[in-house]
Amino acid sequence: MPPPEPLILLARQARQRFGTQVGAQLPKIVQALRDALTAQLDQARSTRDYQTARDTLTLLNQSERAWMQGVQASLLQSHQQSLKPPPTPVTFEASMPAGLELMANEAMEDQLLASRLALSIQDAAGQEWTDLKLRLVFADGKTELATTDLVRPETLARALVEAWMGAGLTRDQWKHQSTTLHGSAGKCFTAAYHDVNHWLVGKGVMTKVKPQHVVRKASSGGSG
């Protein structure tokens, strides 16, 4: 049986709050990048280093709104997908046209960039991420979050990488700024996890995290 309606509602509101918090944190990530690039301009040891930092900063200033909007749109899409049944896996032929092969290689590279970022977010958020995951699983009455749940570090990382490319920034620029991106995203999203955990505790949802009692039985009383 599903968990009581109030818990399901709180889980829905928690995810909405998390999405809002992420949106509020994105300008801080952009500012961290801008500060890092400005420092790179000041410390450039060659004309090439200076031009690389200058070009990235110029493009970031032009594309920051599109990047942030793309992240939020991607998270919304992931959230909507998490509410649907898992799609049927698609089987590809052993060989494919050169154009599709290039696209597949680019997709794999983007996935690798996102995986590295997700690990940084997860490491930075630590217990805050773990606690929020357990509280949402508890409130959902399930055993695990959907693979596309917007609170997952993997979902956040994928949204940032995809929106970066979609905004016209490049993979090389991402790689050059990966230290700043990983550090600022980890710090900012930890703040989002903390905020939603604090909000859920205030609502009485698993005030003491109990990993061994994640799935809420319909017969149990109280919410935590």
Reported pTM: 0.85
Give pLDDT, residue 2: 52
Give pLDDT, residue 1: 47
Within 10 angstroms of residue 214's Cβ, the number of other Cβ atoms is 19
Tell me the pLDDT of the chain averaged across its residues.
87
Phi/psi class of residue 85: alpha, beta or left (left: φ > 0; alpha: ψ in -120 to 50)?
Answer: beta
Two tokens, residue 99:
């154009």
Tell me what percent of the chain is helix, strand and coil, each rounded to the nearest 5: 75, 0, 25
Give pLDDT, residue 182: 98
- pLDDT greater than 90 at residue 166: yes
Rounded to the nearest 10 degrees, the angle between the axes of helix 47-82 and helix 153-166 is: 120
**209 with 135: CB under 8 angstroms?**
yes
For 49-93, how does the pLDDT look when each residue is reduced to its tens digit (9 = 90+)? 999 999 999 999 999 999 999 999 999 888 888 777 655 544 444
